[in-house]
Amino acid sequence: MSFLNKRYYLISGLMYGSGLRIMAAVQLRIQDINFDYKCIRFWNSKGNKHQVVTLATELIPLLRNKIAQADEYLKLDSQNEHFAGVWMPNALARKYPSANKSIAWQYLFPSYKLSADPETGEIRRHHFHQTGS
C-alpha cells in the first residue's frame, strides 16, 4: 500500500486489514474504536447487523493521529456559533442533546469543510465522501 496517497492510506488499511466496506469505513465514529481490545464495532451495517472486527495493530498510531485531527476540527467548529454538531442517529439527539459536540460521536474521517445538513439546513461537519471528493 506504499503507492497510496497519504490521505487514503488509513481508510484503505482499515478496509483491507479489518475487512470494512467503504461506507462502514467512512461512517466510523471515534467511539467505535476500542484500543484496549483492538477492535472496531459498528452498528447497523449491511443487512442492519452489528459487527465487531479486529483492529490491525499497525494502524493504531495512525488512528490516534486521526482522532487528534478530528478533535482539532471539533475545537475549531465549536467556535462557530452556527455549528450544530455532528448528525446523531435516530432519537439519540433528543436523548443525549450535548453528545453531538463530544469527541466520541465525531466521525473518524471528517469532511474537510462544514456544510448544511440536507434535511434541516443546520451547519454540520459530515463524514468524508466515499468517492474521495
* Paired residues of 52 in beta bridges: 41
Residues 6+ apart with CB under 8 A from 7: 132
Provide the residue-wise pLDDT of the chain in tens; the chain has 133 residues.
Answer: 567 777 788 988 998 888 888 888 888 999 999 999 999 997 766 667 778 899 999 999 999 999 999 999 999 999 999 999 999 887 888 899 899 999 999 999 999 899 999 888 999 999 887 766 5
One-letter amino acid identity for 21?
Answer: R
In 1-133, where does DSSP find H-type helix?
Answer: 6-18, 22-26, 60-78, 92-95
Instruction: Report the pLDDT value the prediction gives residue 123, as an integer from 0 to 100.
Output: 94
Which among 35, 77, 41, 24 is positioned nearest to 57, based on CA atoms?
A: 35
Candidates 55, 10, 45; CA nearest to 24 is 45
Name the nearest CA neighbour of 21 among 64, 51, 57: 51
85: region left, alpha or beta (phi > 0 left; psi from -120 to 50 alpha): left
Residue 1: the pLDDT is 56
pTM for the model stands at: 0.87
Residue whose grid cell is 466515499: 130
Cβ contacts of 84 within 8 Å, gap of 6 or more: 100, 117, 120, 122, 123, 124
What is the residue extent of each domain of the chain?
6-124
